[in-house]
Chains A and B, each alone.
Chain A
């Protein structure tokens, strides 16, 4: 088969139609050669000898008749040691190194090696000559930060191979062959420290997928206790602008008890990425004592960067997540925001003149969103170890209306829903996760009956509050009023949390359990009040005390002293 050649036939926005000669593949990458630059593009439709390509760059300057160079490969990224602590754009261009080369602006047509070619890694072999391996099996490892980075047989080698040669212990770059495999027919395959994998194909080199069971602790009380997320599960955070989606994601990315966090800033403000970018290297991960950046990878395709690359960026992120999962690690992927990603699909669909669905989103919106979230999961490897990819996506519904297509398509496929409400954020109740709208399908860190008991007060309390708006406090019985106050109490001292207070920002499960026990003891108590005014002021005082208690470092002297006082106040009222 000769090399396929092509020429530009039409240009419309970021879509280019190319007339080609030879064979092309769906999602194949091609470069448009214009004004001395090579612009990366991807084939998204083929009809006869014309294919439509989405261009990952600004298309200004392209001319009918420009040459197109087909690569014969699908859109792929390079995986291997050196990914951690990197900051990439949606196509795996390392942004800091790009800045060194091009300065302030993102010049188009500049593509750098995602992984440094000259860095040496200390390789330790794990297999002997003659061993039988297949895709995903480790042939050795190199240390990368705090991890033992497994060097795996590329995932596309799905049959069984015999190790013909393996490098001895020593330092190698990712350009050097470290092993040679041979298959049944005698064909040989060179193995390097890194390899490429197409982003739109899920990695399947594992034994089986398991049901997620272990909670992923975020140290947000309302999430861990009431709306938990399991390792290998999925969750979404929809909310109007200004409700605090990004703060929640940033806090989770710091606190989550996973091995690796991948932060995909997809079509959002550059300023927010910059905060992560500049602050993470300074923050210390309490679990390892190392900089948080060492366990983080940032994929950043902000709102003003080309739209087609935004579509690719989430796939790039999830592919890297799957790669580390294959080493038996727990990976959390945070995508902010999936709505911008869906909008990228919509823009492309419009250019392709496809028949639009609801709000002009393409008809395949649901299956595309489902396909993305389904790449999360807990899996057991062939060697018995377990690894997971957890996906959390924010959704930015138009007008804050959760009925819109992206939110609805997302709710269908996620395991937990953390709905943010403007009502709560306007009242400065943070995190603004609405306790009555949100739900989870995962078991949290606390027994279900306790959680349900506490939640019962909130539900009942809200009903009473609504009733009170009609009949006034005068028309409400004291016992109902106490239930209402108890509901408010759960909300104020447990569900709300102050991200700007050091001790309250991250609450370990141990403390969550302890505080919830205390809260429940108040809920269970048969409190004795003379009138509503007394009840209100008692709960106000107690609430203030528990919040102060939340702000003290766990098990410090002040913490114990305050707890004693709180218990005394409760004791006096029973």
Chain B
């Protein structure tokens, strides 16, 4: 028997309060408004005053609306039936399929015991040389794409999703433009990956509170798949919207802001999500790839800054390409020693030369004299940018390595490449 409360004491922003007893912290309630029913989550208890965060927001809520507590926390349905489906931030279907109410699992569960993690050792191949060759993506890695608005991060994320060899793709969309949501949905459908995907979508027009639920739902589902021995790729796009939603709600609840209005627990909140990435000792894995748009291209902004401290590297998207200098995969050392023996050496040599090319470009722009070495570097840089860095390049790692040797041989003599003689003898194209 569930009690119904029909007197709302206060409505501030998205938060309402009612007088009730026997309510648990984090419990869900259902509120009937003139515009339909909405979920609400208990986020503060003080005596018999219960504060609830209303998913659809405070607008249009009347003080005499009915509130009914459901006796459980936020849950999401989990079974193979969710594959190929799209849900909202309230876990309601966004497609035309039926609501799923079986096998409900709680979201935001406890973290994994570090003693049960293993050192990651499997590479995820993406077909993008700037990733596979220079900053390999590793199973269980958590990695954001740092980008400014206007860069093709959606296309990059979609390509990685389509080409990565994983069992399940969980897509968490936060603050997405509706067009972008359709872009991802269509890409997954046309790429025949939809049947192994599940999407949790919050669009920019949806209520803010629902945005906060997206990562937890996506990761809870991913965790269950991983426990069933599946390799899961979770795409979170865009984590900046998530952090901004947190800011909005923290401020409306009168929390003391710490840095540029963001709540003091921004780091812990982001970490709680990203740290769900895991390779289980005796089961599957979760790899998290996020997008962090950087307001004003400022990497010291609290969101990219805190993210950088949490994640295992980042891909910097700049000028439509993955920038080899800002980008870093902290786990690449775990895998790139086992691919092909020229992998590491070629990676270092090509980056070193590309960095020299950048210096030469700077010298050239200042009008300094170009030596014959400078001329070689200029040719090299052009090849490198066109044939390696361009995002449309789609080749396997081995092909990319061969291509690397081919570019070097085209531009430099064997000595100038700075590579070990032993490798040159084996790989230098005739």
Which of B25, B113, B257, B313 is the one whose CB lies under 8 Å from A95?
B113
B240-248, B301-309, B373-381, B405-413 - interface stretch = B301-309
Given the interface pairs A11-B44, A106-B112, A356-B256, the reply to whether A64 lies near B268 with Cβ below 8 Å is no
Residue of B nearest to A97 (CB): B115
Proximity string of chain B (315-344) to chain A, C-beta cutoff 8 Å, 1 when within and 0 when not: 000000000010010010000000000000
Is the pair A278, B48 in contact by a Cβ cutoff of 8 Å?
no
Chain B, residue nearest A10 (CB): B46
Chain B proximity of A395: nearest CB distance (Å): 11
* Contact yes or no, A347 B115, CB < 8 A: no
Contact assessment for B111 and A99 in the assembled complex, using a CB-CB cutoff below 8 Å: no
- CB contacts (< 8 Å) of A241 on chain B: these are 305, 308-309
B84-92, B175-183, B259-267: which lies at the A interface? B259-267
**Is A502 an interface residue when CB atoms closer than 8 A count as contact?**
no
B58 CB–A CB distance under 8 Å? no
User: Beyond A307-B268, A350-B264, A398-B302, is A106–B275 a contact (Cβ under 8 Å)?
Assistant: no
Any chain B CB within 8 A of the CB of A526?
no
Please name the residue on chain B nearest to A425 by beta carbon. Answer: B328
Which residues in chain A, 405-430, are within 8 Å of chain B measured between CB atoms? Answer: 426
CB pair B119–A303 under 8 Å, yes or no, is no
Contact A59 B256 (CB under 8 A): no
Chain B residues within 8 Å of A102, by CB:
113
B120 and A105: CB pair below 8 A?
A: no
Give Cα distance in the complex from A68 to B325, angstroms: 54
B113 touches A99 (CB 8 A): yes
**Binary B-proximity of A96-140 (CB < 8 A = 1, otherwise 0):** 101100111111100000000000000000000000000000000
Contacts of A451 in B (CB 8 A): none
Q: Interface with A: B16-24, B189-197, B205-213, which one?
A: B16-24
Contact of A343 among B23, B111, B267 (CB under 8 A): B267
Report Cα–Cα, A242/B309, bound state, in Å: 8
- Cβ-defined contact, A63 with B25, below 8 A: yes
Known A360-B257, A398-B259; judge A242-B114 contact (CB<8 A).
Answer: no
**B6 CB–A CB distance under 8 Å:** no
Contact status of A11 and B45, CB under 8 A, knowing A61-B24, A271-B117, A307-B265: yes
Residues of B close to A359: CB separation below 8 A: 258-259
- Residues B21 and A65 in contact, CB atoms below 8 Å apart: yes
State whether B264 touches A343 (Cβ < 8 A): yes
Q: B109 an interface residue at 8 Å Cβ cutoff?
A: yes
Q: Does B47 contact A (CB under 8 A)?
A: yes
Q: Mark B106-128, 1 if CB is under 8 A from A, else 0.
A: 00111111111111100000000
B73 within 8 A of A: yes
B158 within 8 A of A: no
- How many residue pairs bridge A and B at CB < 8 Å? 173
Please provide the chain B residues from 371 to 390 with a CB less than 8 Å away from any CB of chain A in the complex: none
Contacting pair A269 B264 (CB below 8 A): no
| B275 lies within 8 A of A303 (CB) | yes
Provide the main secondary structure of the chain A interface: mixed
- Interface check A277, CB cutoff 8 A: yes
- Check if B312 sits within 8 Å of A60, measured CB to CB: no
Docked-complex contact B259 and A360, CB < 8 angstroms: yes
Are B114's CB and A105's CB within 8 A? Answer: no
Which residues from 310 to 367 on chain A have a C-beta closer than 8 Å to any C-beta of chain B? 340, 343-344, 346-347, 349-350, 353, 356, 359-361
- Contact present for B25 and A347 (CB under 8 Å): no
A116–chain B nearest beta-carbon distance, Å: 16
Q: Is the interface of B mostly helix, strand, loop or mixed?
A: loop
Most buried by B among A103, A107, A270, A307: A270
Q: Which residue of A lies closest to B307 (CB)?
A: A241
Distance between Cα atoms of A361 and B258 in the complex (Å): 8
A360: which B residues are within 8 A, CB to CB? Answer: 256-259, 264
Return the chain B residue nearest A354 by Cβ: B256
Interface members, chain B 10-40 (any A CB < 8 Å): 21-27
Contacts of B325 in A (CB 8 A): 426
Do B271 and A399 touch across chains, with their CB atoms under 8 A apart? no
User: What does the 1/0 interface line of A259-274 toward B look like (CB < 8 Å)?
Assistant: 0000000010111011
| Residue pair B255, A105 in contact (C-beta under 8 Å) | no
B25 touches A11 (CB 8 A): yes
Does any Cβ of A come within 8 Å of B310's Cβ?
Answer: yes
A488 close to B (CB within 8 Å): no
CB-based contact A277/B44 at 8 Å = no
Q: Are A273 and B116 in contact (CB under 8 A)?
A: no
Task: Note all chain A residues with C-beta closer than 8 A to B305.
Answer: 241, 398-400
Interchain nearest-CB distance for A81 vs B (Å) = 22
**Smallest CB gap from A105: residue in B:** B110
B48 (CB) vs chain A CBs: closest residue = A64
Contact of B110 among A87, A96, A107 (CB under 8 A): A107
Give the docked Cα–Cα distance between A58 and B108 (Å). 10
- Tell whether B252 is near chain A: CB-to-CB under 8 Å: no
- Give the docked Cα–Cα distance between A346 and B263 (Å): 10
Taking CB atoms, residues of chain A closer than 8 Å to B110 are 58, 105-108
Q: How far is the CA of A255 from the CA of B278 in the complex (A)?
A: 29
B25 and A62 form a contact (CB under 8 A): yes
Cβ contact of A12, chosen from B44, B140, B265, cutoff 8 A: B44
Give residues 229-259 of A contacting B (CB, 8 Å): 240-242
Tell me if B118 and A61 are in contact (CB < 8 A): no
Q: Across the interface, do A346 and B264 meet the contact criterion of CB distance under 8 Å?
A: yes
Which A residues are CB-close (under 8 A) to B120?
271
Q: Contact between B44 and A242 (Cβ–Cβ < 8 Å)?
A: no
Digitize A300-313: 1 where CB-to-B-CB distance is under 8 Å, 0 elsewhere.
10111101000000
The answer to whether the Cβ of B272 comes within 8 Å of any Cβ in the partner chain is yes
Query: Which of chain B's residues have a CB closer than 8 A to the CB of A106?
Result: 110-113
**At the interface, yes or no: A510 with Cβ under 8 Å from chain B?**
no
- Please name all residues of chain B whose beta carbon is closer than 8 Å to the beta carbon of A10 when the two chains form the complex: 44-47
Bound complex: CA A34 to CA B22 (Å): 12
Does B300 sit within 8 A of A, measured CB to CB?
yes
B264 and A104 contact, CB distance less than 8 A = no
What is the minimal beta-carbon distance from B281 to any residue of chain A, in angstroms?
8
Alpha-carbon distance between A344 and B268 when the two chains are bound, in angstroms: 9
A347–B44 touching, CB < 8 Å: no
Q: For the complex, is A401 an interface residue (Cβ under 8 Å from B)?
A: yes
A61 touches B309 (CB 8 A): no
Question: Could you say which residues of chain B place their CB within 8 Å of the CB of A60?
Answer: 24-26, 73, 108
CA distance A346 to B308 in the complex (A): 20
CB neighbours of B310 from chain A (8 A): 269, 303
For A307, list chain B residues within 8 Å (CB).
265, 268
* Contact flag A396-B275 (CB < 8 Å), given A300-B114, A360-B264: no
A173-191 vs B, CB cutoff 8 Å, 1 = contact: the mask equals 0000000000000000000
Contact B73 A61 (CB under 8 A): yes
Which residues of the partner chain B approach A302 to less than 8 Å between Cβ atoms?
Answer: 111, 114, 275
Query: CA of A279 to CA of B119 in the docked complex: distance in angstroms?
Result: 9
- Asked if A9 CB lies within 8 Å of chain B CBs, one says yes
Is the C-beta of A275 less than 8 angstroms from some C-beta in chain B? Answer: yes
CB of B115 within 8 A of CB of A98, answer: yes
Contact residues in B for A242 (Cβ distance below 8 Å): 308, 313, 328
Asked if A64 and B112 sit within 8 Å, CB to CB, the answer is: no
Given contacts A307-B265, A343-B267, contact A269 B113 (CB under 8 A): no
A270 in complex: contacting residue of B23, B114, B280, B299, CB < 8 Å:
B114
Q: How far is the CA of A359 from the CA of B281 in the complex (A)?
A: 40
Given contacts A59-B25, A63-B24, A359-B259, 18 further A-B contacts (CB under 8 A): A10-B45, A11-B44, A11-B45, A61-B25, A63-B25, A64-B21, A104-B112, A105-B112, A105-B113, A269-B275, A271-B140, A274-B114, A278-B119, A303-B271, A350-B263, A350-B265, A360-B257, A426-B325
| Cβ contacts A to B, 16 pairs, < 8 Å | A17-B46, A60-B25, A61-B24, A64-B21, A64-B48, A65-B21, A104-B281, A240-B308, A241-B309, A267-B267, A274-B119, A302-B111, A304-B272, A343-B265, A346-B264, A360-B264
Residues of B within 8 A of A (CB): 21-27, 44-48, 73, 108-120, 140, 227, 255-259, 263-265, 267-268, 271-272, 275-276, 280-281, 283, 299-302, 305-306, 308-310, 312-313, 325, 328, 331
Instruction: List the 7 closest pairs (A to B, CB-CB), nearest first.
Output: A399-B300, A303-B271, A304-B275, A60-B26, A360-B258, A241-B308, A304-B111
